[in-house]
Each structure stands twice: as C-alpha cells, then as structure tokens.
Amino acid sequence: MTHKLKTPWPTKAAMEQVYDMKLWGDNQTEFYSGEGSHDPELVIPYTNAIISFLKHFPTPITVCDLGCGDFNVGKHLVIHTAHYIAADIVTDLIAYNTKTFTTYTNLEFQCLDIAVDTLPSGDCAILRQVLQHLSNKEIQHILKKLTAFKYVIITEHIPEGDITPNVDIISGQGIRLKKKSGVNVLAPPFYFKPSNITELLRVTPKQSPGVIVTTCYTR
C-alpha cells in the first residue's frame, strides 16, 4: 500500500508549473518532458542500454520508474519487464499517461512524491535525470528508500572536467550545470554505498554542455 505524506518542499507545484507553462518545450502534445525525453540521439542509446541490462535476467524483473515524465522513454522498456511501475509527482500527467498507455498489461502508473511517499516494491529502480532537479535534502530522503532495491539505475546530466559535486539547489525546472556542479550520490552529503558500480552509458548532448551519464548501482 502506498502512503502519502504532506511534502515540505515546493517540488510538486514547481513540476506542475513546468508542464502547465510548457517550460521544457511544446511539441503540441498535452504533456511534454523535453528534448531529453524525445531527442533520438539521447533516447535510443539510453533505451538500448537499459534493454540490454534487462535482457540479462533469465526471468523478467519488476522495474520502478521513479520520475517517468511523459513516458516517451519508459514505453520502450515495459515489454522487457515482468511488471513496470511508472511514477511521477504531477497528478494530471499520471492521469494522462494512464489513459494514453493502455496496451500494456504489466504497466501501472502511480502519482508519487518520491521524496516523501512510500515507494512501490521492485527489483530495480530507475531515476532518469530526476535527482538533478531536486534539493540535496530531497535526494537524501530518496536515497535512503532506494536501499530497498537490488539495482538502482541513475542518469544524471553533469559538467565535464573538474566539478564541485552536489551544490544544493531549490527544486524545480533547472539543474546544477550553471553552478558547475552535478549530482554524485557517492559523494557528500549522500554517501550512497552500493556493493558494485557499473557505468552503462555516457552521452554528450549536442544542444547543451556537459555529459549525461547512466550508472547502475548494485546492493
């Protein structure tokens, strides 16, 4: 059962504003999660890497997509899982996804604030460019819950070269690039402690500085 708590952060309102005002762009759809979720040069390598990871299991696993957005990425992964739970903080977005993606019998959408709500159970959690939009305090709350998963796959957009990791921000549309920073869950103040770390993918976007890195953390 999912338990919802009152959030002390402005994240929900900020993300609702992102979609209401189309701050990540407008491709004439009701909800649009930006070029990061639609640019083939970013989406295709990512989905190929995750599908390859999922196919390594002799029996399909349960995946929790935490911060699923408009589901343009997740829709490619569902058929490779036993059960796929896609969560996002924006209520109307989840309602839209639920009505739109109806052909998958193993797909479930949930509206969650992953920093405060109880997370669904699964084998693997996926957070694709989610933490980069959140404050350090929220990230700390999320990482504590992620220890329940055997596998955690995190994708982050970070600057290239020497950076100061985990400079704090207020949750919202922006990320830490302008502060010459990015999220590193292994560094302070987080100290995430996996038993194994595997980089699955590294892509350099053409439209923005930095590099997008996808890493699998195994407990």
Number of domains in the chain: 1
Of 114-128, 137-151, 161-175, the poorest mean pLDDT is in: 161-175
Residue 57 domain-assigned?
Answer: yes
Q: Give the sheet arrangement for strand 151-158, strand by strand.
A: 107-111, 83-88, 62-66, 124-128, 151-158, 211-218, 196-203
Q: Categorize the per-residue pLDDT at 215 as very low, low, confident or very high, splitting at 50, 70 and 90.
A: very high
Q: Per-residue pLDDT for 156 more than 70?
A: yes
Question: Considering the domain boundaries, does residue 66 fall inside one?
Answer: yes
Query: Rg of the chain's alpha carbons, rounded to an integer?
Result: 16
Q: Is the pLDDT of residue 28 over 80?
A: no
Residue 132 near residue 175 (C-beta atoms within 8 A): yes
Separation of CA 181 from chain center: 18
What is the average per-residue pLDDT within 149-171?
95
Q: Is 158 helix (H, G, I), strand (E, B) or coil?
A: strand
Any domain includes 5: no
Residue 61 belongs to a domain = yes
Instruction: Give pLDDT, residue 192.
Output: 97
Stretch 28-40: mean pLDDT, rounded?
Answer: 87
Pairing of strands 124-128, 62-66: parallel
- Residue 49 falls within a domain, yes or no? yes
Q: CA triplet 128, 99, 88: central angle to 5 degrees?
A: 30
Structure tokens at 30: 């009701």
For residue 87, the domain's CATH number is 3.40.50.150
- For residue 4, tell me if it sits in a domain: no
**Beta-carbon contacts of residue 54 (< 8 Å; ≥ 6 apart):** 60, 61, 63, 77, 80, 81
Work out the percent of the chain whose per-residue pLDDT is above 70: 95
pLDDT tens-digit map of 164-212 = 999 999 988 789 998 999 999 999 999 999 999 999 999 999 888 999 9
Range of the domain at 34: 11-218
Report yes or no on 6 lying in a domain. no
**83-88 and 107-111 strand pairing:** parallel
- Average model confidence (pLDDT) for the chain? 93
Structure confidence at residue 67 (pLDDT)? 97
pLDDT at site 202: 97
Question: Helices in the chain by DSSP H: which ranges?
Answer: 11-20, 40-55, 91-100, 136-146
User: Quick count: other Cβ atoms within 10 Å of Cβ 95?
Assistant: 13
- Assess if residue 180 is contained within a domain: yes
pLDDT at 204: 94
